[in-house]
Every structure is written in structure tokens, then in C-alpha cells.
Amino acid sequence: MNKLTPGSNLRWESSRMILPEHREQWLRYRSSQQKSAPPLLDEQRWAEMEWTLRQAMEEGAPLTFTYWEEGEIREQRGMCYFIDHTLGRFHVQAADDERYYLPFSVIVDIEAG
């Protein structure tokens, strides 16, 4: 078997080294390929989430907001105490008393509990 034998990897054995810059670029490329697109919800889904939201606000129940951020789907649990229609966002207060502002455009789902 020599370096030119078909199916042999010996020809490229000495090329296994990769520069740190190339590795970083490859990792950035892989992570960008795994990201998802922003959500697009239809009117029926918004109506369902609005009903869930209204019920939870009347009862003072916590909600779980699923939202899109930088290509990833994330969750935030808390109480929605105000809906700002002018700026198009929900004001959510988490259990640790921190406030989050979630724009309507990134919401994927709203669940009670």
C-alpha cells in the first residue's frame, strides 16, 4: 500500500493540523447552521395565546413564555403584569423580581403554569 492507493488516507495524514482561526470560523459556521428562523404565527394561534394570557392575568397565575432570541428558542416564566401595545411587547416579572420585556414578534408560545 502506498500514498496513492485509492481509498487510502495516507496521502493526507500529514494535513491533520488545523489553524486556530480556521477552527473558530468552522465553529461559527456550524452554530449559524443550527439556528432557527424567527417565528411566524397565524391569527388563530394568537387568539389562543391571547385567551390564555387574559385568563392568567385575571387570576394572577404565572405564565411560561416561549420566545425566539438570536436563533434559539428560550423560555421565561413569570407574571405578565402589563401589555404595551404601543411598543408591541409584554412586561414579564420573573420570580426573582427581575423584569423582562418580550416583543410580540419573538413570541412562539404562551402557556399557563
Query: Quick one: CA dihedral 60, 79, 54, 65, positive or negative?
Result: negative
Radius of gyration of the CA atoms of the chain, in A: 24
| Whether pLDDT at 107 is above 80 | yes
Quick check: is 69 in a domain? yes
CA–CA separation, 74 vs 66, rounded Å?
Answer: 6
Q: What's the mean pLDDT in 14-25?
A: 79
Q: Average pLDDT over the chain, rounded to whole?
A: 84
Phi-psi region of 88 (alpha: psi -120 to 50; beta: other; left: phi over 0): left
- The tally of domains found in the chain comes to 1
Q: What is the pTM of this model?
A: 0.66
Quick check: is 33 in a domain? no
| Domain carrying residue 55 | 43-112
| Whether pLDDT at 12 is above 80 | no
Quick check: is 77 in a domain? yes
| Whether pLDDT at 11 is above 60 | no
- What CATH number is associated with residue 75? 2.30.30.520
| Whether pLDDT at 111 is above 90 | yes
Quick check: is 29 in a domain? no
Quick check: is 32 in a domain? no
pLDDT at 9: 62
Three-state DSSP class for residue 64: strand
Q: What's the mean pLDDT in 52-61?
A: 91
CA–CA separation, 9 vs 3, rounded Å?
Answer: 8
Quick check: is 7 in a domain? no
Quick check: is 59 in a domain? yes
